[in-house]
Structure 1
Amino acid sequence: MRIGKLDGFDDILYGVDTDIIWKNSQKSREDLGFDSTKEFYQNKIRIGKPFNVNLIQQKLDELIDGNGQTLFEILIEIIESHKNITLILD
């Protein structure tokens, strides 16, 4: 699975005033869980610049230690940070 830039996703939500219904959210939770998140961080570390490898390594370490967020949780946090958007997990 290819996942784009999370900052870009956050950016496109600015000014949006709507409800988002996330269909099959449980499947997304599984698909964007630990393994996908670990692979996501490892790929960024392998690529190196322009990514902040030290920060990404820290996030990977937190994930492995059980303290980090999965991609699913990061996406939820991004959506919920926009007060004009109501997120409905279906």
Structure 2
Amino acid sequence: MLNSDKNKLITINGSHFSDLSGFYDEVSLVLMKNTDWKVGTLDGFDDILYGGFGVFDSGDEIQITWKDSQKSKEDLGLEDTRHFYENKIRQGKPFNVELIQQKMNELISGNGQTLFEILIEIIESHKNITLILD
């Protein structure tokens, strides 16, 4: 259980958004309070989870509760992920179109990750963060 002054409790509320852009707005609101910087990419989301320039410092133990995670799982599922990849393919450079097409093919065949699964993987890659799906 988190109980020291270094521990932070953070809530992401899935009822506050229905797409990736809305997710970025939500995490900017809860993780980057009182800053001018806003999350706008998957890499940017990963970066803020290292701490040091938002609501927690590097090394803090963090507990993130993702409320309405089932709604987010549906919202950030197959269809939204397919659109995400299609947009990157359409934009071309600087994106690696071949890699993105491969990820799209994996997604369509049932073997790829949805945006929700990618976000979960990003959070879980940070050993100081405990994720609770609610």
* TM-score scaled by length of structure 2: 0.64
Could you say which residue in structure 1 is the equivalent of 2:43?
A: 7
| Inter-partner Cα distance in structure 1 for 2:48 and 2:106 | 27
Q: Which runs of 5+ in 1 are unaligned?
A: none
Alignment match, 1:73: 117
More displaced stretch, 7-16 vs 66-75: 7-16
Task: Give the aligned CA root-mean-square deviation in angstroms.
Answer: 1.2
Aligned counterpart, 1:32: 76
* Greater per-residue helix proportion: 1
Q: Aligned residues, how many?
A: 90
Does residue 119 of structure 2 align to residue 83 of structure 1?
no
CA deviation after TM superposition for structure 1 residue 2, in Å:
5.0
Distance 1:78 1:17 in 2: 16
Q: Does residue 61 of structure 1 match 2:105?
A: yes
Q: Name 1:44's counterpart in structure 2.
A: 88
- Which amino acid letter does the alignment assign opposite residue 45 of structure 1? I
Where relative contact order (Cα < 8 A, 6+ residues apart) is larger, the structure is 1
Residue 17 of structure 1 and its aligned partner are, at CA, apart by 2.7
Higher-Rg member (1/2): 2
Q: Where has structure 1 moved over 4 Å in runs of 4 or more? A: none
Query: Structure 1 length normalisation: TM-score?
Result: 0.94
Q: For residues 123 and 66 of structure 2, what CA distance do their matches in structure 1 show?
A: 11
Contact residue 20 and residue 76 of structure 2 kept, 8 A: no
